[in-house]
C-alpha cells in the first residue's frame, strides 16, 4: 500500500484528534474575536494549502459576512507594497510552516497592523513562531508528497476559525465530519474497480460550484501530480463561458454534485454534457436524484452542503491514489516534486 493511501485511510482518526485538541482553543479564540470587530480576512497559502484557502474564502464569506481576500504573496515579497491591514485577520496556511513567501507575508501583515493566525501541521515551524495565534492540524508526519490528511486537516481548522467569527458554523456539526469521512472511505472497493476504466486517461476536466469549488482545484492537482493527467478545473458557471467547447464524445468530466444550493446548476451541466456524450463521473450522495451520468460515486450519508467539502474530497483522493497504481505510477514519488517547496 502506498504512503498516500495510508494517509488517506488515516483521516478519520487524524480529524478526530485535531478536534479534541483544538475545540477549546476555538472557543477561547471566539471570545477574542468578539472584541476585535474584524472588517477583512486575508488568506495566504501556496499549492495544496492554496486550495484550502480557496475553500476558506467561500466558507468565511458565506458564514460570517466579512469580505475575504486571497493574498498574492508577490505583492509583499517582490513589490514590497505597504497595505493598511488594521482591523484585518490574516491567516497563513502551510503544511510545513516553512514556506518562505507565506511567512514573509505574515511578517509584513503584523507590521501593517493585522492580527495573524497560522494553520500548520508543525508545532515548531517558523510560521508557528511568528504568528499571534496558531491552529495545529496535528496530522502526524506527512510522508506522502501528495498531501491528503493535511489538506482535510486544514479545512477542519478553517471550520473552527469560521465558528469563532459567526454563528452559522456550529462545533456540533463540525464534530460530525470525521464520521462522514469514515463513510466516504467505504467507497474504496468501488473506486478500485472503477479506475480500470480510466487507466489510459491523459486529460480531463474537474468541475464544481460554491463550497466544493476548491475541491475541483484539489482533485485536479492530485491527478496532475500523482497520475500525470492534464486535469483542468473550473467553476460550473465559468465552464459554460467557453471551456465547454473542448468537450467531445468520451471526454472525461468529473463533477462534484452534493445536494444543496449548487446542485441545480451542476445537474443542468451534467445534462448538457450527457447530450455531448462526454464521459461523466459524478461525486454525489446516496439520496441525490442525478441526471443520466456515465458513472456515479455516492457517499452513503446525508451531509448538509455546508459541511460536505471534507468528505467529498475523499473519493477524489482515492481515485487519484488508485488510478496512479493502475497506471503503474508510484504516487509517493511524483517526478520533480518534494514535500516542502520554498518560493519567494
- What's residue 251's pLDDT? 97
Residue 338 binned pLDDT confidence (cut-offs 50, 70, 90) = low
Q: Does residue 343 have a pLDDT over 90?
A: no
In a domain, 337, yes or no: no
pLDDT tens string 57-103: 999 999 999 999 999 888 888 898 888 999 999 999 999 999 999 99
Torsion of the alpha carbons at 114, 120, 124 and 127, rounded to the nearest 10: -30
CATH number, domain at 272?
Answer: 3.40.50.10490
Query: Do 164 and 17 share a structural domain?
Result: yes
In a domain, 333, yes or no: no
Residue 341 binned pLDDT confidence (cut-offs 50, 70, 90) = low
In a domain, 194, yes or no: yes
Q: Which of 5-14, 74-83, 159-168 has the lowest mean pLDDT?
A: 74-83
In a domain, 334, yes or no: no
Q: 175, 201, 231: which is the final residue of a domain?
A: 175
Classify strands 115-120 and 88-94 as parallel, antiparallel or unpaired. Answer: parallel
> What CA–CA distance (Å, rounded) separates 162 from 76?
26
In a domain, 27, yes or no: yes
> What CA–CA distance (Å, rounded) separates 97 from 127?
5
Model confidence pTM above 0.75: yes
273 grid coordinates: 454534457
- What's residue 50's pLDDT? 96
> What CA–CA distance (Å, rounded) separates 291 from 282?
10
Mean pLDDT of 128-142: 95
Mean pLDDT of 274-291: 97
Query: Do 229 and 193 share a structural domain?
Result: yes
* Domain extent for 278: 184-327
* Alpha helical stretches, state H, 37-165: 47-64, 73-77, 100-111, 126-130, 149-165
> What CA–CA distance (Å, rounded) separates 87 from 127?
21
Q: How far is CA 53 from CA 70, 211, 234, 255, 306, in A?
A: 7, 12, 16, 21, 16
pLDDT tens string 13-60: 999 999 999 999 999 999 999 999 999 999 999 999 999 999 999 999
Which is nearest to 202 in space by CA: 228, 234, 233, 232? 228
In a domain, 203, yes or no: yes
Amino acid at each position: 500500500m502506498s504512503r498516500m493511501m495510508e494517509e488517506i485511510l488515516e483521516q478519520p482518526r487524524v480529524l478526530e484528534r485535531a478536534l479534541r485538541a483544538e475545540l477549546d482553543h476555538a472557543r477561547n479564540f471566539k471570545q477574542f474575536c468578539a472584541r476585535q470587530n474584524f472588517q477583512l480576512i486575508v488568506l495566504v497559502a501556496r499549492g495544496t494549502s492554496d486550495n484550502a484557502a480557496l475553500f476558506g474564502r467561500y466558507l468565511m464569506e458565506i458564514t460570517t459576512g466579512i469580505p475575504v481576500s486571497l493574498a498574492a504573496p508577490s505583492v509583499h515579497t517582490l513589490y514590497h507594497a505597504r497595505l493598511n491591514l488594521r482591523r484585518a485577520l490574516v491567516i497563513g496556511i502551510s503544511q510545513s510552516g516553512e514556506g518562505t513567501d507565506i511567512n514573509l507575508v505574515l511578517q509584513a501583515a503584523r507590521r501593517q497592523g493585522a492580527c495573524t493566525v497560522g494553520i500548520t501541521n508543525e508545532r515548531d515551524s517558523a510560521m508557528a513562531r511568528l504568528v499571534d495565534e496558531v491552529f495545529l492540524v496535528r496530522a502526524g508526519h506527512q510522508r506522502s508528497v501528495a498531501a491528503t490528511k493535511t489538506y482535510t486537516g486544514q479545512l477542519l481548522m478553517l471550520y473552527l476559525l469560521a465558528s469563532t467569527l459567526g454563528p452559522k458554523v456550529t462545533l456540533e456539526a463540525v464534530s460530525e465530519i470525521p464520521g462522514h469521512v469514515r463513510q466516504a472511505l467505504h467507497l474504496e472497493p468501488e473506486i478500485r474497480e472503477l479506475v480500470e476504466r480510466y487507466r489510459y486517461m491523459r486529460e480531463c476536466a474537474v468541475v464544481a460550484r460554491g463550497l466544493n469549488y476548491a475541491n475541483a482545484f484539489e482533485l485536479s492537482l492530485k491527478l496532475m501530480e500523482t497520475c500525470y493527467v492534464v486535469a483542468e478545473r473550473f467553476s460550473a458557471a465559468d465552464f459554460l463561458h467557453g471551456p465547454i467547447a473542448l468537450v467531445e464524445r468520451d471526454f472525461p468530466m468529473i463533477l462534484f454534485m452534493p445536494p444543496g444550493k449548487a446542485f441545480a446548476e451542476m445537474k443542468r451541466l451534467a445534462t448538457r454534457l450527457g447530450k455531448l456524450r462526454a464521459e461523466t463521473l459524478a461525486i454525489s450522495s446516496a439520496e441525490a436524484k442525478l441526471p443520466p451520468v456515465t458513472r456515479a460515486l455516492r457517499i452513503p450519508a446525508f451531509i448538509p452542503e455546508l459541511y460536505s467539502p471534507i468528505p467529498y474530497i475523499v473519493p477524489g483522493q482515492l481515485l487519484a491514489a488508485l488510478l496512479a497504481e493502475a497506471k503503474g505510477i508510484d504516487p509517493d514519488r511524483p517526478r520533480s516534486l518534494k514535500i516542502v517547496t520554498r518560493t519567494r
